[in-house]
Amino acid sequence: MSRIVAIVGRPNVGKSTLFNRLTGSRKAIVDDVAGVTRDRHGAMVEWNGQTFTLVDTGGFVEGSEDAMERSINRQVKAAMEQADLLLVMVDVQTGITDLDAELANLLRRSRRPVILVVNKVDHGERLPMAAEFYSLGLGEIFTVSSQTGSGTGELLDEVLQRLPAEQPEEQETVIPKVALVGRPNVGKSTLLNALMGEERSIVSDVAGTTRDVVHSELKAFGHHLLMMDTAGLRRKAKVEEDIEFYSVMRTLRTLEDCDVVVLLVDARDGLQAQDLNIFHLAEKHQKGIILAVNKWDLVAKDHKTMDRTRDELLQKTAPFNDLPILFISALEKQRLIKLLDEIAAVAARRSHKVSTAPLNEYMQEVIDAYPPPAYKGKYIRIKYITQLKTTTPTFVFFCNLPQYIREPYKRYLEGKIRARYDFSGVPLQLYFRQK
């Protein structure tokens, strides 16, 4: 079990900059605008041969009337409850504020183990200024500059001393990574919260609430998955703020890193151009793909609505239309267990290997029934087929004239493979090589 350290503090004291510094990553978005970090997200920190999980949180604003800030506060408190150790960040330049004092009072009452981190101590002249933070009553202070890295080594040494002993790791198993993607406000965060049974992502009617990728390990209904909620992808013309630009880039990197993509579509809007961009990007990167039509409870239906909608969706995703389509409601928790079952099934199909002998026997019958069309008077003969030992299903056809295999015949062969073997939701790669 990983040990968890959470960074907490009021807005704009440098929590995300310290997170990036300690994790050696750019997972947290950094901007001078207060309130940029809204969701909890974590990354592994390795120091002196030991590891722990560091969690970044939004800025704590006690007693706010703003709905977003209240949501952030719930996130912060949830992280505080789950962490083994808290890094409480303050800003040496502004000194002690009312919010710092309120947070310190809350932490003293909670009796959680804390380390007080005074940030922005970029040079020796600011060291005496840090002494006033002793009055918060949170014990010894550690002065750092998250921007330059000054003092972070001593801080990490103290963190390792204060954490409980590291437990031996169980034998590692491969956990499928699942990315929840889609346009803004289609219900990605609501779906993640419904699956996890707790509020892991902030849910709001305001589009674009999720800016960072939120990783959540799910163990439920016989499944073990790593769920990743991402910021909604908009058309490039709509990306006006630099913050949103970084969110989109992070979402794209997450899509590249995952195993299965759950593309959420608003049932009332259908597949839009941006949805298809995401779909083709996932197909290009050989990810397992599931279409989840969310907010199905809001659609007026008759007995043919589901079939009609499915046909319309598959027409837009053609020629790749061997994929699962589920009609769900994240808010009403409709068909969510079925969605988990399908995610696990697609992840398994993506790593499925077909034995060479039965594959050749079947495909030779298929090829004999409909041989490749002659090209420029030359006949094409496919002699041998095998599946490569790659992470995603890849088939190689050895033949005398591979350059003359046309696209329609490639689709015919792929269709026949899919007809015999279950690769629903999994893009296939077919290559043709000289025998």
The tens place of each residue's pLDDT in the chain, 435 residues long, gives: 467 888 888 888 888 889 888 887 654 444 443 443 434 456 678 898 888 878 877 766 666 566 555 655 666 666 667 678 999 999 999 999 988 888 888 888 877 889 999 999 988 888 999 999 999 999 899 999 988 999 999 999 999 999 988 665 444 457 899 998 888 888 888 888 888 875 544 444 444 444 444 567 888 888 888 887 665 445 545 444 443 334 444 556 667 778 999 999 999 998 988 788 888 888 988 999 999 999 999 998 888 999 999 999 999 999 999 999 999 999 999 999 999 999 999 999 999 999 999 999 999 999 999 999 988 888 999 999 999 988 899 999 999 999 999 999 999 999 999 999 999 999 999 999 987
3-state secondary structure of 406: coil
The CA distance from 91 to 97, in Å, is: 9
Within 10 Å of residue 88's Cβ, how many Cβ atoms?
Answer: 28
The CA distance from 100 to 429, in Å, is: 56
Within 10 Å of residue 31's Cβ, how many Cβ atoms?
Answer: 15
Contact 42, 56 (CB under 8 A): yes
The CA distance from 330 to 338, in Å, is: 12
Helices assigned H by DSSP within 336-399 = 336-350, 356-369
**Amino acid identity for residue 207 in this structure:** A
Buried/exposed 225-250: b ≥16 CB within 10 Å, e otherwise? bebbbbbbbbeeeebeeebbebbbeb
